Amino acid sequence: MIDGVPVLGDRLWYLAIFGISAVATFVSAVRVNRIAEGDTRRGLVALLLTSGGWALATVGYLATANEQLAVVLYQIGLVVGLSTIGGWLYFCSAYTGRSLHRDPTIRWTAVVVFLAIVAVKLTNGFHGLYFTSEVVSTPFAHVAIESTTLHWAVMAGSYALATVGYFMLYERFRQVSHDTRPLVVLLALTALPISFDVFGMVVPDLIEITYEPIGVAAFAVGLTFVYFERFRTIRLAGDRDDPVIVLDDSDRIRDFNRAAGRLVPALSDRSVIGEVFASIAPRCAEKLEADDPLVTAHRDGKTRYYRVTEQRFSASQASLGRALVFTDETHREQYRNELERQNDRLDSFASMLSHDLRNPLNVAQARLELARDEAADNEHLETASEALDRIEALIEDVLQLARQGQPIEERERISLEVIARDAWEMVETADAALVVDDDRDILGDPERIQRLFENLFRNAVEHGGKDVSVTVGPLDGENGFFIEDDGRGIPDEERQQVFESGYSTAENGTGFGLAIVEQIVAAHEWEIELADVETGSRFEIRT
């Protein structure tokens, strides 16, 4: 001390700096509980608490000249300090939207390596491979630690792992348009103490210890008390590759990522930060008020469609704003538009069948009946009657194919057993038997679902025989149901064709029965599959 003022080499400086670092990290750990995203919060809290514990252990180590006690406190600091790497990488992985921190293999590997290194550190008194100690009087009386090669190897590995976290954050910062320089500076503070670690070996006034807790404390204070909001908006904006715009609770723009800047031309200038979103992009803001917001973007002569979803975020009971996420649904929207055009064409075709063909068909059937009354035993007239009946059946099936493929507007909850038994009564089943394994509710259009069951039952009876047994039940472990028969089944070479329009192996079949089934399944946005079974046929429908 000089005139009562502590100088660089005084114990008081070290105790004050590391003590303040411990307090700063503990206080920051309380504040970061405002972070809504659980894994990010847990990782950052773990980093702050372990770093604070490390600084506190260092205070205890520096405060005593008792060699045995100092070594114990130093070893505690070594163990807690090593655990900061786990908290740091957990935080970096969660903050950048990765799942590395949840990978069981990585977790167990980290635990095993951690315990192995801890065992070496705690047993140093027996082998002396990690450090040696002695009491020295400069720059003040304390226990000096001289680290060995094994210590520096572990330190090198720890800093290498820490660097992986830095690269994760760097990649995240590049994804957003926000000015991330302040956070880059804060992250640099965590690495700055490395220079003190090096200087401690050559500068007499610096003790040869690890100064890393000081850097983490500076990072914690700057992050949680100065740039906390920026830290959160960067996480939200960079959380995904889709365009993201972060708005506050007054709908003012807080941040957006580069993808959003490309999607919304008005966001190309950083000056829009703080402006009301509706005043910057009024047409886009207007679309957000729709029940199912779909934004259309025209670029390079092409039209793309983005569906907008909101992710609200808050702290405690206070709303802090929302993130607008634009998901590219161009392919789905193009498919839907094409499906609508096809349905329109099919409707037109069905109307033509219903009116333009059914009328002359009815005339021909009526004339044929008159002719048969005059010549009852005419074989040619009988054949003509069968042909006209087949034409009528084809017209009816094509009409059904057009109607059953229309999108489902309203769905009802239906009992699987009830709908199956109702459909069974509408089919000529002869000596066939129906077995319902179990019941389950289905959400869909009752009329179309009954038609689906009728067609599959009719298919089973036509191809499996009049005494076929048909079983209906829910799928195990999946949402859906099956319809299975014990008939002769479908040959392997024909399995790929069963859902094609016009395909039939029955003598009087039109070939539209299973095609209609597929249309009903598609209209519900379900999936149907002809499963492999030893005997008979099994249709599995996943809802």
Selected residue with higher pLDDT from 490 and 16: 16
Selected residue with higher pLDDT from 79 and 323: 79
pLDDT of 300: 66
pLDDT of 231: 61
| Main-chain phi, psi angles of 317, to 5 degrees | -100, 0
Residue 535 binned pLDDT confidence (cut-offs 50, 70, 90): confident
Burial 463-482 (b: 16+ CB within 10 A, else e): bbbeebbbbbbbeeeeebbb
Given a cut of 60, is residue 439 above it in pLDDT?
A: yes
Given a cut of 60, is residue 508 above it in pLDDT?
A: no
Residue 196 binned pLDDT confidence (cut-offs 50, 70, 90): low
Omega before residue 104 within 30° of 0, cis: no
- Residue closest to 453 by CA, chosen among 514, 369, 388: 514
Average per-residue pLDDT for the chain? 77
Quote the DSSP letter at residue 475. P
Percent of the chain predicted with pLDDT > 70: 76
Q: Write out pLDDT tens, residues 271-297.
A: 777 788 888 888 778 777 776 787 777
| Predicted TM-score (pTM) above 0.75 | no
Longest Cα separation, the chain: 137
Q: Write out pLDDT tens, residues 305-359.
A: 888 877 776 544 444 577 787 877 877 777 777 767 777 776 776 666 666 666 7
Q: Which residue has the tokens 């809504």?
A: 36
Given a cut of 80, is residue 429 above it in pLDDT?
A: yes
Residue 383 binned pLDDT confidence (cut-offs 50, 70, 90): confident
Report the range of poorest mean pLDDT among 106-115, 144-153, 381-390, 513-522. 381-390
β-bridge mates for residue 297, sequence order: 304
Given a cut of 60, is residue 411 above it in pLDDT?
A: yes
Q: Which two tokens stand for residue 137?
A: 């009087």
Q: Write out pLDDT tens, residues 80-96.
A: 988 988 988 888 888 77
Residue 493 binned pLDDT confidence (cut-offs 50, 70, 90): confident
pLDDT of 211: 77
Contacts of 243 (CB under 8 A, 6+ apart): 256, 257, 259, 260, 262, 263, 264, 306, 325, 326
Q: Write out pLDDT tens, residues 56-67.
A: 998 998 888 888
Angle at 355 between CA 352 and CA 360, to 5 degrees: 110
pLDDT of 2: 39
Selected residue with higher pLDDT from 14 and 406: 14
Report the range of poorest mean pLDDT among 43-47, 300-304, 417-421. 300-304
Is-contact 215 52, C-beta < 8 A?
A: no
